[in-house]
Amino acid sequence: MAKKLNPFEKYLTIWVLLCIAVGILLGRIAPGVAIALDSFSIYQVSIPIAICLFFMMYPIMVKIDFKEVIKAGKTPKPVLMTLAINWLIKPFTMYLIAYFFLGFLFKNLIPGTEIIKSGQEVELWRSYISGAILLGIAPCTAMVLLWSYLAKGNNGLTLVMVAINSLTMLFLYAPLGGFLLGVNAMPIPWQTILLSVMIYVALPLIAGYFSRKLIILHKGLNWFNDKFLHYLTPVSVIALLATLILLFSFKGEIILDNPLTILWIAIPLFIQTVFIFSIGYFIFSRVLKLSYHDAAPASMIGASNHFEVAIATAAMLFGLSSGAALATVVGVLIEVPLMLMLVSVCRKNCHLFRECNLDLPQCVKKIEPTPL
């Protein structure tokens, strides 16, 4: 019998919207609290958010059977697919879509200029496009583990893809960003990238690996699956909700002061995310004949963004109050509800793929034997 979702998982979209509202309200009525919490940072990485993300990732990491990781590493097709989407397609479609909407369709609705960190005066719509570019060249290396878990994807494969994308980001983020931003050399927060990967991936991975081995050794696999994971599962979602409250308490003032601008920026970001997911899930994954459990995470890792790195880079290049920084914050604003929607799309269309083991009617029909 399928295990029932807990209240946090069942009504996650509602919880997400409530936490966003609470975060914005907290930033509005008690800005001192948000500012004090935001001041605890190392190389632009917020310590309170890092703690929340650790507890969000640990319950996912501890469930990974590393024998499956080894097997997943021997399956190159989904890994090559996500690399191609993340580095050969996504950055350029982000630029084209953002330019079409912000530099052409909505251009007259975004008047004015701003002085960026270098002292140069730029048009606001160009600044917003720069923020969109910074989102487009930062593939997700943390939250996608949660999306894969919710979609019942191959967690071992997801971990392999996260590790590979983290490494490629170290080498490709700066030159690709420099090319698309049209600058000769782009300063990149190497410390932020390395610290982010360590906190969001390495620490929970190490903790999960060793705690899993110790618990199974002393308590057995049945106790681990039936007792430990039963109480641990809600921790990941609760940590996600706490992260959202913190994020939007930091940026709530900006969002409330720019409601229409938020909408103009959100439209191309929404279209880009859905487009990248669609070509990965409905086209490339089917052409490559991936299983559902490989297709779901391979498609979602390209659709989602590493917003922490994007925000930090925008702040370093153009200033925290810049239009580019605002655009990256909009990326955070739409990321979670939109990715939850795409998780639902994955599950509802899982029957399009082979080897789908979800306990859903459309999948049950596929695995039932044909009557003689």
Instruction: At 308, list the tokens.
Output: 């922490």
What DSSP string runs through 190-227? HHHHHHHHIIIIIHHHHHHHHHHHHHHHHH-HHHIIII
Instruction: Write out pLDDT tens, residues 210-261.
Output: 998 899 989 888 898 888 887 887 787 787 778 778 767 766 666 677 678 8
Residue 151 has pLDDT above 60, yes or no: yes
Asked if 284 and 89 touch (Cβ cutoff 8 Å), the reply is: no
- What domains lie within the chain, and their CATH numbers? 63-222+259-358 (1.20.1530.20)
- Grade residue 188 by pLDDT with cuts at 50, 70 and 90: very low
Structure pTM?
A: 0.73
User: Which of 51, 59, 62 is closest to 243 using CA atoms?
Assistant: 51
- Grade residue 335 by pLDDT with cuts at 50, 70 and 90: confident
- Grade residue 359 by pLDDT with cuts at 50, 70 and 90: low
Task: For residues 144-150, give the mean pLDDT.
Answer: 83
Asked if 127 and 323 touch (Cβ cutoff 8 Å), the reply is: yes
Contacts of 279 (CB under 8 A, 6+ apart): 85, 89
d(CA 271, CA 230): 37
Contacts of 141 (CB under 8 A, 6+ apart): 162, 165, 166, 169, 196, 197, 200, 201, 306
d(CA 323, CA 312): 13
Instruction: At 12, list the tokens.
Output: 């996650």
d(CA 198, CA 69): 19
Contacts of 253 (CB under 8 A, 6+ apart): 27, 28, 31
**Greater pLDDT, 43 or 31:** 31
